[in-house]
Amino acid sequence: MKHPINWLNSFAYALNGMFEAVKERNVRFHLLSAILVCGICLQLKLSAIEWGLISSAIAAVLITEFINTAIENLCDFLTADYSIHIKKIKDIAAAAVLLSALYAVTIALLFILPKIF
C-alpha cells in the first residue's frame, strides 16, 4: 500500500494542475458556462437522471478542455517554431473539445428548453 503522504502529494499536484489550467481563457469560459447551466438547472428542479446527464456532459467538456490545455502546453514547450505536425495535434485536441461542447449543449437543450416552454 502506498504511503498516505504519496497520495496527498498526488492530490496536491492535481490541484496545482487545476489552478494552472484555470489561468487559460477557454477553461475559464467553460467553467463559467458550467456554473451558469447549473444555476439554470437549479431553478428548473431537474430530476436526478437529468442532473446526472447534464453533470456528465459538463464533466466531459471540462476533461477534454483540460487535456487540450495540457496538449497545447506540451506542444508549445517542444517548439516555438511553426510546425504542421504541431498544428494538426492542436487542431485535433481542439476538435475533441468542440465535440464535447456540442454534446453538452445538446444535452442541456434537451432538458432545459422543454422545462422553460
Within 10 A of 11 (CB to CB), how many other CB atoms are there? 10
- Which of 9-13, 32-36, 82-86 shows the lowest mean pLDDT across its residues? 9-13
> Does residue 3 carry a pLDDT above 80?
no
Name the DSSP class of 45: T
As for how many domains the chain has, the answer is 1
Which residue range forms the structural domain that includes residue 11? Answer: 4-116
**Section 82-95 average pLDDT:** 97
> What CATH number does residue 11 fall under?
1.10.287.3610
| Cell numbers linked to 26 | 477557454
Q: For residue 67, what are the CA distances in angstroms to 8, 36, 49, 72? A: 22, 22, 27, 9
**Section 84-90 average pLDDT:** 97
> Does residue 103 carry a pLDDT above 60?
yes
pLDDT digits (tens, 9 = 90+) for 21-40: 999 999 999 999 999 999 99
Please tell me the predicted confidence (pLDDT) of residue 50: 95
